[in-house]
Amino acid sequence: MSEQKKDQTFLEVKDLKVEYFSDGQTVHAVNGVSLKIERGKTLGLVGETGAGKTTIAKSILRILPDVGAKVTEGKVYLDGQELFALPEQEMRKIRGNGISMIFQDPMTALNPVQTVGDQIAEVVRLHNAGSKESFEKRAREMLEMVGIPGDRYHEYPHQFSGGMKQRVVIAIALACNPGLLLADEPTTALDVTIQAQVLELIGELREKYNTAMLLITHDMGVVAQVCDEVAVIYAGRIIEYGSKEQIFDHPSHPYTIGLFGAIPSMKEDEEWLHPIEGLPPDPVNLPEGCAFHPRCPYATEECKKKPIEMYQTADGHQCRCCHMGAAKKGE
Ligand code: SF4
């Protein structure tokens, strides 16, 4: 039995590196990411647009474009099975069955000329033996499970509101009881009340099926509501990793602390938010040393010289900063 199975880890990503190639330039999108998720647990992957979050999810599912993108290093294990070593035919069986993905925009995820029921039934048919009636029955069950009456089976996506469409997308993603759910900003396109309902639904279904989930988001409120652990990503690297409590109660990396500073407070009456100064680095031309140093108020010469290691701050809490603690003390 492999190491991944022994310690209850369901998904393990090891030192993943991904590059894109365009106009003779190399985009360093993911630069050595490692993470683990256990069954029934949710890891929140948090960071700004362009930090490499979606690229990680697509790499796990092996749906990066064939041309112009390449995994240059790293391994992914699902329940002990090394995904990059599998032939494409085997990988096709895992997509939808072992791993499902919920995309950000339900409009682009659904086929506008096929009824919602048929779209769910098709996924079930692809991965299971059975009759047309049994696939339809399962599709109706899934609709009911996400709070849509089964008799709306024959309706088309345009007949549903944005929140209902995202529920259909969730029904499709969970129709085959996948062990791992990759949810890429699943509520960003929804208004706040529908967002809360969809998050609650995802949480309930995850509990029911003991599904492991990688939740990609830039929204700390969503992380607080749904996640067990949090990985903060910057310029394609995880810069802080820990339990939700560790990250929320004791953020250590200046970037993570900056993210919290950019959230409006319900308790204090502040006139201005405190955004992180500057812009994320160009992934074609990443800075030497710590990629955050051009924006970091605590940067020293040491930060600019060599790549920064992950340091352990407490049990399971890690931070990629060589002056860890300086931001907390305000030095
Ligand atoms: Fe700032 Fe240096 Fe820490 Fe990077 S390593 S976050 S530049 S203090």
Question: Is any atom of ligand 1 closer than 6 Å to the C-beta of 223?
Answer: no
For the stretch 271-305, what's the b/e string if a residue is b when 16 or more beta carbons lie within 10 angstroms of its beta carbon?
eeeeebeeebbebeeeeebbbbbebbebbeeebee
Ligand 1 centroid to Cα of residue 321, in Å, is 5
Grouped pLDDT means (10 residues each) for the chain, 331 residues? 62 96 92 94 91 94 91 96 94 89 82 94 87 92 88 94 87 87 83 77 82 91 90 96 94 90 62 72 91 92 89 88 65 48
In this predicted structure, what is the pLDDT of residue 266? Answer: 57
**CA-proximal residue: ligand 1, atom 5 (nearest):** 321
The 3 state secondary structure assigned to the chain is CCHHHHCCEEEEEEEEEEEEEECCEEEEEEEEEEEEEECCCEEEEECCCCCCHHHHHHHHHCCCCCCCEEEEEEEEEECCEEHHHCCHHHHHHHECCCEEEECCCHHHHCCCCCCHHHHHHHHHHHHCCCCHHHHHHHHHHHHHHCCCCHHHCCCCHHHCCHHHHHHHHHHHHHCCCCCEEEEECCCCCCCHHHHHHHHHHHHHHHHHHCCEEEEEECCHHHHHHHCCEEEEEECCEEEEEEEHHHHHHCCCCHHHHHHHHCCCCCCCCCCCCCCCCCCCCCCCCCCCCCCCHHHCCCCCHHHHHCCCCCEEEECCEEECCCCCCHHHHCC
Q: How far is the CA of 256 from the centre of ligand 1 (A)?
A: 11
Ligand 1 atom nearest residue 296's Cα: 1
pLDDT at 206: 82
pLDDT of residue 209: 83
How high is the pLDDT of residue 307?
86
CB 181 within 8 A of CB 100: yes
Going from the Cα of 230 to the center of ligand 1, the distance in angstroms, rounded, reads: 20
Ligand 1 binding pocket includes 293 (Cβ within 6 Å): yes
Structure pTM? 0.87
Q: Is 43 in the pocket of ligand 1 (CB under 6 A)?
A: no
Q: Is the beta carbon of 234 within 6 A of some atom in ligand 1?
A: no
Q: Is the CB of 292 under 6 A from ligand 1?
A: yes
Taking the CA of residue 298 as reference, the ligand 1 atom at the shortest distance is 8
Among 257, 300, 303, the mutation site with the greatest number of ligand 1 atoms within 8 A of its Cβ is 303
Q: What is the pLDDT of residues 194-232, one digit of tens each?
A: 778 778 878 887 888 889 999 999 888 889 888 999 999
- The answer to whether the CB of 298 is under 6 A from ligand 1 is yes
According to the model, what pLDDT value does residue 1 have? 45
300 C-alpha to center of ligand 1: Å? 7
Range 85-92 contact pairs with CB under 8 angstroms and sequence separation of 24 or more: 88/62, 91/62
- If you measure from the C-alpha of residue 322 to the centroid of ligand 1, how many angstroms do you get, rounded to a whole number? 6
